[in-house]
Structure 1
Amino acid sequence: MDAKQRLYSLSQLHHLEQNDLQVILTDWLIISRLLFEPDEMIINGVEQPFKQNELKQLLIDCRINDDVWVQLKNKYEETSIHLLGDTLLEKSILQKHTFEYWEVVYLDYLNQRLEKFGSFAYLRSYEEYLFHNTSDLSDRRIFESAEETQELPKMKGLNGDLTVDCNTFPGYDVFYKGVCLTSCWRIFLGRHYQKLFAKPLLLEIQQVESVNEVGSGIWFELYKDPFQWNEPANLKFQQLFRDQLGISQLAYTNGVGTLRQPYIEFAFDDTIVQTVQYQNDQFQPIEKSQASYFVTRTYDFLTNHYQVNRMKGGLNALAYFPWIDDDSERMMNYRVLYPELTLDKGLRAFEYYIRSSIEYEIQDMRYQDYTAILQLFIPKHAFLDFPTEELKKRLKDMTIHQISRKNDSLTFSLEKEGKHLMVYFIDQKKVAAKNRLDVLEN
């Protein structure tokens, strides 16, 4: 069966109690039998013919803190549950006509579970999931030609093999602080996600089909038809949702990030989450450099204290250099990069972060005489084949006053249109136990 004719559903329940567990497992078996006729079942990795009474007894015997994995499947459809401790992960792949026939019943089934125990859930086209999350070149042959794969952005995997860079896709699943972050047709974010995003921020997400509270969590529907995911407008909504949550700012797997301006930025301090959202004159989300309104939120998820402030203005020095040392008149920003995962030794990323730190406009003139510093932390082995000459060519519109190189550091002194920037490439291990500003060499 073609992947584009199927729907992929995933949900995670947590903080289950024993009495609740029996109801949840029984309901799963009932809805599974309602949706399709399984041919076989796989219990903790052992395949066997489907036997409902045997499976029913196994589910009755399940206890909190057990580790049990059960899958039901036939040629076209499947569903599974994994009980681990007090957490239950459920996945289903359903044919399009099955989902559309039972949609109201199935969504009600999910909502009842998520309302009380929901941590995370999503529903999406299986084709969309595969397209946005399959990095292996040979695995992509299932749904696209080699010529189509050739046109996609690439990176190196951890073993050095060439792979597709899925970080550039709007529906790529990444993980940050133990939770999944993604963008797709329907997404549920439970209470735990409020350690990253204040609830009012989530409720004010723009340009989506609907936003609804369910229990302590929130359901988002980005567009109407999951099987029309590859329509340009729907891909745009999917990307904008990802941008508004700052997913690419929080987590990426290509070593350097997506090299795109943020729509939101974060600062974390123990139990406090601070965010700055960038908006235009119509209060719509927009890239940082184009912003005219700034929405600052501070949320303490331990005390539930919340503050929000929207102000009109322009970007100041802190927007580009969050660490400012008034005593030495220096202002600094930094990035931790892994150029070995790129195909160009990190060259494009180096240029992007340098230009972002020197090609800016700020209204606050207080810091015009401060030394601007960009620290790029890279592994020591990256200095062995550092693209110095290639980087100089990329920065040919800047004046390079000085280049200083040592075994575990490289320094560029740059100037463009009256702005000066000191760029330090530093061995990641060298600064592990030091203050980021103090480590700089004068």
Structure 2
Amino acid sequence: MEKTEKIYMVFARADFSLEELKQDIFDWLSFLRIVTNPESYRFGEEESQKFDLQALIYQIQQLTEEENLWLKVNSRGGEFQLHISKLALHERTILDGTIFIENQKMIEDYCETRMVKNGLYGYIRSLDDYLYNNVENIEKRTFETDSEIAKLPKRYDSKKSIIVDCNQLAGYDIYFKGLCLTSCWKMYYSSLYYQIIPKPIFLEVQQVHSVEEIANQVIKVTLFKNPFNWNMPVNLKYQRLFRDQLGYDQLAWNNGTGVLRAPYIEYAFVKEVTQTVQYQNNYYQPVEKKNATYFVTRSYDLLHQKYRVNRTKGILNAQAYFPWIDEKSRKMMNYRVLNPEMAIDDGLSAYEFYIRQFLEIDVLDKKYDEFVSVLRFYLPKEAIQQVPLEALWEKLCDVNISNLKKKEASTRFDLQKAKNHLRVVFLDSSYLETLNQTIDISE
């Protein structure tokens, strides 16, 4: 991989008054002039022109509360972009590595000050780390060789062009409820995140360089010492483990099938209450769900500001895998919503992964022995008749398959592996609206 050896910084901030917004932009101008020598700028849709501080100050003073424009400054040693959207700011900065190292303490102080005041989220990382984990278009990955690109996971985009499936990469920026979820050298989280992920989960995260609550409930997480060493094997391990511990890929993905990785934490959202279960081993270290011996359950009632936590030792029961239980029909169910049209293999890998995730389980539970366990796949209507059954059964060559039933809007079959059993049902995703009414649609 050809490296730029530059630093990339992103910060999102909001809830300004108009005068505060203008002053903040002036502070941003001061910052970029301290660390670099600005050469040109572009204000909104205007043509790029030679940097003129007084002209730029005048334009900033004319801003209104309804603005939606980019302010871009190119410097010797850096690129600075500021998106002004009404009374919110989104800041993106690229700095030469030497400039960052020479001014690191001042730059980090600047970032922390801005996060504490009006910050939503932010991060600092190697630009190479960002590019590796976030450039989907294969033609734009000019920093890699063909052999390096060939090893990366792929998927289809909306136009059926093959792109890199960045969802599978640990440093991918994914967004959930307007908040950035990523894993990189240094990250800043505002209190808005704690409405989704209980604050103690951030503070108690393991195998990172440091975790610190700085001010105004802002948490700063540093994964490793040197941002330019992001691709050392040990740092890549920390990057992946942080993402797994926070469960970002359980919350959001955009590749149609998910990341196909066993969870280290799972979330449930019921009205104003967030519930989480973290999986740990005998040393209280984070592990995959199926390897857990300790379970940390948390419940956070946002409305009433009530928080509860409990750690218990034991083994998983059937409800941990199949939370929807119908005593009347003696069935228990879980489901996944997929769009296999985005997968190059028509969803085959995803189907096998999720089937094995719910079939190859180790539970001591009378209910599991007596009830039918059901895994539903909700798919677009046109995908129901295109499920690659023959290829799937080849993948499941160690499993007994029976009772295949195909209808226009559904397909189902039963699986048995030793004492474990699973009924798999493929359904039109329009049936999702009946989920809470009954689990006995076509099983």
TM over 0.5: yes
Q: Which amino acid aligns with 2:21?
A: L
Q: 1:111 offset after TM fit, Å?
A: 1.2
Could you tell me whether the CA contact under 8 Å between 2:361 and 2:420 is conserved in 1? no
Cα distance in 1, alignment partners of residues 177 and 108 from structure 2: 28
Contact 2:36 2:76 in 1 (8 A): no
2:265, 2:385 → 1: CA distance?
Answer: 35
What residue is the counterpart of 1:24 in the other structure?
Answer: 24
Which residue does the alignment assign to 1:400?
401
**Aligned residue number for residue 183 of structure 1:** 183
Q: After alignment, is 267-276 or 376-385 more displaced?
A: 376-385
Distance 1:311 1:110, change over 3 A: same
Q: Tell me which residue corresponds to 1:356.
A: 357
Question: Is the contact between residue 64 and residue 86 of structure 1 (CA under 8 Å) also seen in structure 2?
Answer: yes
Greater Cα shift, 374-383 or 258-267: 374-383
Matches within 5 A, 1:25-424: 25-46=25-46, 47-74=48-75, 76-141=77-142, 143-214=143-214, 215-424=216-425
Deviates more, 1:428-437 or 1:229-238: 428-437
Name the stretch that deviates more: 35-44 or 423-432: 423-432
Alpha-carbon deviation of 1:259?
1.0
Deviation at 1:258, TM superposition (A): 1.3
**Secondary structure, in 3 states, of the residue corresponding to 1:74?**
strand
Letter in 2 for 1:111: E
How far has the Cα of 1:88 moved from its partner?
A: 0.9
Secondary structure of 2:430's aligned partner: helix
Contact 1:401 1:413 in 2 (8 A): yes
The alpha-carbon deviation at position 436 of structure 1 amounts to 6.4
Q: Could you tell me whether the CA contact under 8 Å between 1:431 and 1:439 is conserved in 2?
A: no
Deviates more, 1:125-134 or 1:145-154: 145-154
Q: Secondary structure at the match of 1:363?
A: coil
* CA–CA separation in structure 1 for the residues paired with 2:253 and 2:437: 23
Residue matched to 2:11: 11
Q: Would the aligned equivalents of 2:326 and 2:439 in 1 still touch at CA under 8 Å? A: no
CA–CA distance in structure 1, aligned partners of residues 133 and 256 of structure 2: 18
Distance 1:436 1:240, change over 3 A: farther
How far apart, CA to CA, are the structure 1 residues paired with 2:265 and 2:432?
A: 27
Corresponding letter in the other structure for 2:192: H
Give the Å deviation of 1:261.
Answer: 0.5
Bigger CA drift: 419-428 or 358-367?
358-367
1:439 Cα deviation from its structure 2 partner: 4.8
In structure 1, C-alpha distance between the alignment counterparts of 2:342 and 2:417, rounded to whole Å: 30
Between the aligned partners of 1:60 and 1:434, the Cα distance in structure 2 is 54
Letter in 2 for 1:379: P
Distance in 2, matches of 1:431 and 1:12, equals 35
- Per the alignment, in what secondary structure is the counterpart of residue 362 of structure 1? coil
CA RMSD of the aligned region, Å? 1.5
Letter in 2 for 1:28: W
Judge conservation of contact 2:171–2:183 (CA < 8 Å) in 1.
yes
Give the counterpart letter for 1:130 in structure 2.
L
Tell me by how many angstroms 1:74 deviates.
Answer: 3.4
CA displacement 1:218-275 (0-9 Å, x = unmatched): 1100000000000000000000110011011111122111111100000001221100
1:76 CA displacement: 4.7
The 8 Å contact of residues 175 and 181 in structure 2, kept in 1 or not, is answered as yes
Please give the secondary structure, in 2, of the residue aligned with 1:39. Answer: strand
- Partner of 1:160, secondary structure, is coil
The offset of 1:75, in angstroms, is 6.0
Identical counterparts, % of pairs: 39
Look up the match of 2:442: 441
- Per-residue CA distance 1:29-63 (angstroms, 9 max, x = gap): 10011111122101113222211111112223334
Aligned partner letter, 1:11: F
Q: Which runs of 5+ in 1 are unaligned?
A: none
The alpha-carbon deviation at position 434 of structure 1 amounts to 5.3
Match of 1:25, SS? helix
2:421 is paired with a residue whose SS is strand
User: In structure 1, what is the Cα distance between the partners aligned to 2:435 and 2:311?
Assistant: 36
What TM-score does the superposition give when structure 1 sets the normalisation length?
0.96
- Tell me by how many angstroms 1:4 deviates: 3.0
Secondary structure in structure 2 of the residue aligned to 1:432: helix
Whole-Å Cα distance in 2 between the matches of residues 340 and 358 of structure 1? 25
Alpha-carbon distance, 1:158 to partner: 1.3
Unaligned runs of 5+ in 2: none
Q: Take 2:435 and 2:100, find their aligned partners in 1: how far apart are those partners?
A: 55
2: CA distance, partners of 1:407 / 1:295: 43
Counterpart CA distance in 1 for 2:256 and 2:195 is: 25
- For residues 94 and 27 of structure 1, the distance between their equivalents in structure 2, rounded to whole angstroms, comes to 17
The letter for the 2-side match of 1:199 is K
Q: Contact between 1:4 and 1:227, CA under 8 Å: does it hold in 2?
A: no
Q: Secondary structure of the equivalent of 2:366? A: coil
- Aligned mates of 1:385, 1:83 — CA distance in 2: 46
Q: Deviations over 1:142-184 (max 9, x none)?
A: x111121011111111110111111111100111122111000
Give the deviation of 1:369 after TM superposition.
0.4
Q: After TM superposition, give the deviation of residue 201 of structure 1 in Å.
A: 1.4
Aligned to 2:37, the other structure's residue is in SS state coil
> Which amino acid in structure 2 is aligned with residue 281 of structure 1?
N
Letter in 2 for 1:207: Q
- What is the aligned residue count? 440
- Per the alignment, in what secondary structure is the counterpart of residue 321 of structure 1? coil
Deviation sequence 1:273-331 (CA, Å, 0-9, x none) = 10000011111111101111100000122322111001111111111101111222111
> Quick check: 2:77–2:99 contact (8 Å CA) kept in 1?
no
Instruction: Name whichever of 94-103 and 417-426 sits farther off.
Output: 417-426
Contact 2:404/2:414, CA 8 A, preserved across alignment: yes
Q: CA deviation at 1:365?
A: 2.5
Q: Distance in 2 between matches of 1:45 and 1:388?
A: 53
